[in-house]
Amino acid sequence: MKKKLPLPDSDENKKKKPIKLTNKQKERHDTGANVIDPSSMRSKLQQEKMKLTKEKFERRIEATAKAEKHLVENVGFVAPDDEEDHSLTYSIRQKEIVDGVDLAAASKHFELKLPRFGPYHIDYTDNGRHLVIGGRKGHLASIDWQTKHLHFEQNVMEKVSDVKFLHTENFIAVAQKNYTYVYDNVGTELHCLKTMYDTARLEFLPHHFLLVGASRNSFLNYVDVSVGKQVSSFATKTGPLDVMCQNPANAIIHTGHTNGTVSLWSPNSKEPLVKILTHLSSVRGVAVDDQGNYMATTGLDRKCRIWDVRMFRQLHAYSLPFGAANVAISQKLDIACAVGNHVQVFRGMHNGTCKEPYLVHNCGGVVTDLKFVPWEDVLGIGHGHGFTSMLVPGAGDPNVDTLRSNPYETKSQRKEREVKQLLDKIQPELISLDPDDINKVNEGLLELEEEERKKILYIRPMAVQYTPRHKMRSKKSGWKMEARKNIVKDQIRLDRNMEKHAVEKEFLEKPEEQLSPKKKHILDRLK
């Protein structure tokens, strides 16, 4: 009789074999345990306490690294029948995918036919649980798209250009005909942002609590929604801003223009940080992945171009049937392009292995907005005839990071997350192209400051000369004359010190452009 052997991945083998971790895996989750040095403490009691603290940190790092190895959820995929070509997955329709998946996944594909109020713009929350749709003719609705529970539905009786969730699903920003309005989760108007006039596109920076509006009169507006204060507003001088997205990694705003360029903006600069010539015609769509590594742009030249944002260099270019209007990137770097009434999803565009579309879907109306749902294999499509939830197997990350965004959070967890977000809010002055700049020291500016400070500090002070006025005989005692002399000298020294500190303060408040030495140009000698 043959003995039954356990499978390689069975529970018996998992119990026998301990999980081995490499130093690289531990370093990825290290939160500062290596920095703790118990020997730096003076007393033995403090050394023991620090030693226990370090062991506690190391156990937590090891447990987190082991938990990562238990993430066994597989990414979804599409497998045609045996007699069909496995590479031609774009011939598979949504009905066939719905018939081939389980009931829970099949319920995520649905359509809302609303031809009277379209075309529609859409947005999802960070955890991918809630959906808001806004029609051009004023229709506004918010739903829990998984349970199909309607939060509210109303008509604002004005043109709606864009919709955007703020830090929670309880606050929705809507760009209407003249101004931008904020509504709650039952449709009550909370605020009217008159500083954001004639807005065409909206973006929200969750770590900074900044609502960004791109207007048709070429203005870019930043509003801090936590305090209701306008942080920055300036003219980009590039024409109407109807193409905009954000880089989630560093909170930089990307805008596309009619001259084929893409500009990168920060609230701290009225000039673009970077300007890239991406197309030879008008840019119609821009999208950046969650890690901030890749940017996809589409234009009227029938091209979809993939760019490396770290080096600002084009990686690949693909031809489309005709000018694409919108583009979106999923968590697994699948790219969806709106081509007229159709949506084409491509896989492997970032590494150059894409040869044909992965999936194709006909929406029946002109596509105006695309959004991939976080942690789900779903693509939300807003078009002229309503809304479509399209299944895209393998688009979302199957292992949900509940610490980052929890799709199943309760009401108390949402309140706690909102408080933590406010406590961890980042100031807009820290927005830059390199998010690690805050850890660096500006050595050139520091040296200039030290030199100027030395010039001020090493000036030899002038001796204070003072002779007391001659008084009557009875009041001319020696110690009184010396006391009066010392009082006057101290006052003169104090006034000089105040002047010196005022000069030093004025120097330190100078902008960096004035402190940094100007580079000489070859044409400067002609001035």
Segment 358-396, tens digit of pLDDT: 999 999 899 999 999 999 999 999 999 999 999 999 999
Residue 423 pLDDT greater than 90, yes or no: yes
Quick one: pLDDT at residue 6? Answer: 45
Q: What is the dihedral angle through the alpha carbons of 132, 130, 265, 254, rounded to the nearest 10 degrees?
A: -80
Of 34-38, 495-499, 505-509, minimum mean pLDDT range:
505-509
- In sequence order, what are the residues at sequence separation of 6 or more whose Cβ sits closer than 8 angstroms to the Cβ of residue 194? 179
Q: Cα–Cα distance between 192 and 194 in angstroms, integer?
A: 6
Quick one: pLDDT at residue 4? Answer: 42
Tell if the pTM clears 0.85, that is, is over it. Answer: no
Q: What angle do CA 262, 267, 272 make, to 5 degrees?
A: 30
Q: E strands within 258-377? A: 261-265, 274-277, 283-288, 294-299, 303-308, 313-319, 327-329, 335-339, 342-346, 359-362, 367-372
Residue 114 pLDDT greater than 80, yes or no: yes
CATH superfamily for 89-430 is YVTN repeat-like/Quinoprotein amine dehydrogenase (2.130.10.10)
Segment 225-242, tens digit of pLDDT: 999 999 999 999 999 999
- In sequence order, what are the residues at sequence separation of 6 or more whose Cβ sits closer than 8 angstroms to the Cβ of residue 344? 90, 320, 336, 337, 357, 359, 360
The pLDDT confidence band at residue 5, using thresholds 50, 70 and 90, is very low
Quick one: pLDDT at residue 2? Answer: 40
Segment 80-107, tens digit of pLDDT: 665 555 567 888 999 999 998 999 999 9
* Domain spans, the chain: 89-430
Residue 154 pLDDT greater than 50, yes or no: yes
Is residue 52 within 8 A of residue 60, CB to CB? The reply is no
The residue with tokens 């084009």 is: 314
The pLDDT confidence band at residue 8, using thresholds 50, 70 and 90, is very low
